[in-house]
Amino acid sequence: MSNSTPIATKYNPNKQLIIIAGPTAVGKTALSIELAQLYNCPILSFDSRQFYREMSIGTAKPNPKELAMAEHHFINSHSINQTYTSGKFELEALEKLEKIYQSHDVCLAVGGSGLYINALVYGIDAMPSDQATRAKWVAIHQSQGLIPLINFLTEKNPEVFEFIDKQNHARMIRAIEVIELSGQKFTDFRKNMAKARNFTPIWIGLDMEREILYERINQRVDLMIESGLEQEVEQLNSFKDHSALKTVGYAEFFQYFDQKITLDTTVDLIKRNSRRYAKRQFTWFKKNEDITWFSAEHKNRIASFTQQKINELKQQF
CATH for 131-191 is 1.10.20.140
Average pLDDT value for residue range 290-297: 94
* Torsion 257-261-265-271 (CA) sign: negative
Of 130-134, 288-292, 299-303, least confident by mean pLDDT is 130-134
Spans of all domains in the chain: 16-125+193-316, 131-191
180-186 — which CB contacts under 8 Å span 24+ positions? 180/133, 181/128, 181/129, 181/130, 181/133, 182/127, 182/128, 185/156, 185/157, 185/159, 186/157, 186/160
Distance, CA of 289 to CA of 155 (rounded, Å) = 28
Percent of the chain predicted with pLDDT > 90: 74
- Give residue-wise pLDDT tens across range 236-250: 999 998 888 999 999
Confidence label for 131 from pLDDT (cuts 50, 70 and 90): confident
DSSP states of 150-203 as a string? Answer: HHHHHHH-GGGGGTS-TT-HHHHHHHHHHHHHHSS-HHHHHHSPBPP-SSEEEE
**Would you report the helix, strand and coil content of the chain in percent, each value rounded to 5?**
55, 10, 35
DSSP-derived 3-state class of residue 299? helix
Pick the CATH number of 16-125+193-316 from 2.60.40.1730, 3.30.470.20, 1.10.3720.10, 3.40.50.300: 3.40.50.300
Query: Around Cβ 24, how many Cβ atoms within 10 Å?
Result: 21
Helices (H), 236-262: 251-257
pTM above 0.75, yes or no: yes
DSSP-derived 3-state class of residue 43? strand
Q: Would you say residue 71 has pLDDT above 80?
A: yes
